Amino acid sequence: MGGGGQQTESGEPAKGGGVGPDGGLGGSAVYTWEEVQRHSHRGDQWLVIDRKVYNITQWAKRHPGGIRVISHFAGEDATDAFTAFHLDPNFVRKFLKPLLIGELAPTEPSQDHGKNAALVQDFQTLRDRVESEGLLRARLLFFSLYLGHILLLEALALGLLWVWGTSWSLTLLCSLMLATSQAQAGWLQHDFGHLSVFKKSSWNHVLQKFVIGHLKGASANWWNHRHFQHHAKPNVFSKDPDVNSLHVFVLGDKQPVEYGIKKLKYLPYHHQHQYFFLIGPPLLIPVYFHIQILRTMFLRQDWVDLAWAMTFYLRFFCCYYPFFGSSKMNSSFIVFKLSTVLENNTSHWFVWVTQMNHLPMEMDHERHQDWLTMQLIATCNIEQSTFNDWFSGHLNFQIEHHLFPTMPRHNYHLVAPLVRTLCEKHGVSYQVKTLQKAIIDVVRSLKKSGDLWLDAYLHK
């Protein structure tokens, strides 16, 4: 592992002295961006934070957020991402000191790849204002009430069967109530995962495991390692797992043409806007996510998350098995159907909310853009209303959430006008849609991508 003034992981000698007692460089270990960018491969990774150069090659494997999310910034300036993801960046910098190998040469700009320095500086000024105005501090009463309404829905669903019995109509109503609590629990665990509720990371982690594990039957570590990559590089192929469609869909404007030119036809993509309704919303959570979750927990031997998930299934069957008759086979079948309806409803809810903000937006390979521009071209907002806020878990403010992922959701509407003003100043598109238009745009985007594929497949 590289240290200041020592030989780097790649064998290249650092240009200068060691790290001083204040954490700065005691000598003149300086690098150009060209030199930093040469270290952007799996076995050789450097990155820059606040003009300091760090060798993360070996340490990336131990990165709490996962090896991939930090590796996505190898060879780049990661200052804004570093600040956005960590509750206390100054505390985290203590762990970076052993990785410090130098700093950028005085003649080098602070931004790589020709990024707009004025825009980057203005965004950092906005970030400072957000912090000074307390917009990163959560109101615990808000999240307590939010958790309370989820638990209330769970209790009402159980009480419904307890008092009025198990007719098909009541069972369906019960499943819809549970699906609502599941969807809302998904948004709440998302808050804890982003460390946006408590000041202490450990408290957020514990509550996330309770909500996603005990209330939803999933894995917190699986979600975080996947979701942080999405935030780090939204809609960037090979870096954002949310746009890895496993050849089931072709997305954006460029991927369909690439597939068409290569004559790749795993599925009839010109019909993807139609088969999306059959295999997208209905199957994402019940099939794909469940396979991924179980596979990840066993391969990584994540027994803690597995134990939390098992408490969900144990609670579900203990609560609902006794209500459905004396026949064990009939009871098992009904409970299975109830859980299937529950998962299917939740999956539809999750897919439409998460895709309407991103899928119709720009998708591309890595272009090394600044933090604000990268997030804005891949993200749009949905109009604010009490229903939209609740229905989407405040992810109708997807732009603000992506720019400030640790910000508690009840403050998104306060920072939104400031973000819009900054975007107008620098000519960055800030899109806001109605809920209806956003949902329709998902289908339109799939059709457009399918048509692009067909044209390239037939004519290029």
What is the CATH classification number for the domain harbouring 76?
A: 3.10.120.10
Query: Amino acid identity of 346?
Result: T
What is the pLDDT, as a whole number, of residue 201? 94
Does a structural domain hold residue 383?
yes
Question: What is the SS3 assignment for 39-73?
Answer: CEECCEEEEEECCEEEECCCHHHHCCCCHHHHHCC
- Dist CA 43 CA 38 (whole Å): 12
Residue pLDDT, tens place only, 363-390: 999 999 999 999 999 999 999 999 999 9
> What's the average model confidence in pLDDT over 136-157?
97
What is the pLDDT, as a whole number, of residue 340? 58
The residue out of 74, 97, 114 marking a domain boundary is 114
What is the pLDDT, as a whole number, of residue 408? 98
For the chain, the domain total comes to 2
**Do 142 and 407 meet the contact criterion of CB atoms below 8 Å apart?**
no
Residue pLDDT, tens place only, 15-53: 544 444 344 444 459 999 999 999 999 899 999 999 999
Residue pLDDT, tens place only, 408-426: 999 999 999 999 999 999 9
Higher pLDDT: 235 or 8? It is 235
Using pLDDT thresholds of 50, 70 and 90, give the confidence band for residue 323: confident
- Which of 62-66, 77-81, 293-297 has the least mean pLDDT? 62-66
Does a structural domain hold residue 307?
yes
Does a structural domain hold residue 191?
yes
Does a structural domain hold residue 388?
yes
Does 48 share its domain with 127? no
Among candidates 87, 91, 69, 90, which has minimal Cα distance to 78? 69
> What's the average model confidence in pLDDT over 291-312?
96
Does 134 share its domain with 168? yes
| Residue 319 clears pLDDT 90, i.e. is over it | no
Does 88 share its domain with 214? no
What is the pLDDT, as a whole number, of residue 318? 87
- Which of 89-93, 202-206, 226-230 has the least mean pLDDT? 89-93
Does 130 share its domain with 203? yes
What is the pLDDT, as a whole number, of residue 345? 81
Does a structural domain hold residue 39?
yes
Q: Which residues, 6+ apart, have CB-to-CB distance to 439 below 8 Å? A: 352, 356
Does 60 share its domain with 161? no
> What's the average model confidence in pLDDT over 433-445?
98
Using pLDDT thresholds of 50, 70 and 90, give the confidence band for residue 183: very high
Using pLDDT thresholds of 50, 70 and 90, give the confidence band for residue 168: confident
What is the pLDDT, as a whole number, of residue 325? 56
Among candidates 226, 331, 208, 338, which has minimal Cα distance to 289? 226
Does a structural domain hold residue 8?
no
Does 77 share its domain with 121? no
Does a structural domain hold residue 251?
yes
- CB 385: neighbour CB atoms within 10 A? 12
- DSSP, residue by residue, 156-198: HHHHHHHHH---HHHHHHHHHHHHHHHHHHHHHHHHHHTT-S-
| Residue 175 clears pLDDT 60, i.e. is over it | yes
Does 104 share its domain with 120? no
What is the pLDDT, as a whole number, of residue 331? 54
- Which of 76-80, 95-99, 227-231, 405-409 has the least mean pLDDT? 95-99
Using pLDDT thresholds of 50, 70 and 90, give the confidence band for residue 215: very high
How many angstroms from the chain centroid is the CA of residue 59?
Answer: 22
Does 377 share its domain with 315? yes
Question: Rounded mean pLDDT of the chain?
Answer: 90
Does 107 share its domain with 208? no
Which percentage of the chain shows pLDDT scores above 90? 79
- Dist CA 378 CA 176 (whole Å): 32
| Residue 343 clears pLDDT 80, i.e. is over it | no
- Dist CA 347 CA 337 (whole Å): 15
- Dist CA 141 CA 120 (whole Å): 35
What is the pLDDT, as a whole number, of residue 387? 97
What is the residue range of 77's domain?
A: 30-114
Does 101 share its domain with 198? no
- Which of 52-56, 152-156, 195-199, 320-324 has the least mean pLDDT? 320-324
Higher pLDDT: 229 or 345? It is 229
- Which of 175-179, 302-306, 451-455 has the least mean pLDDT? 175-179
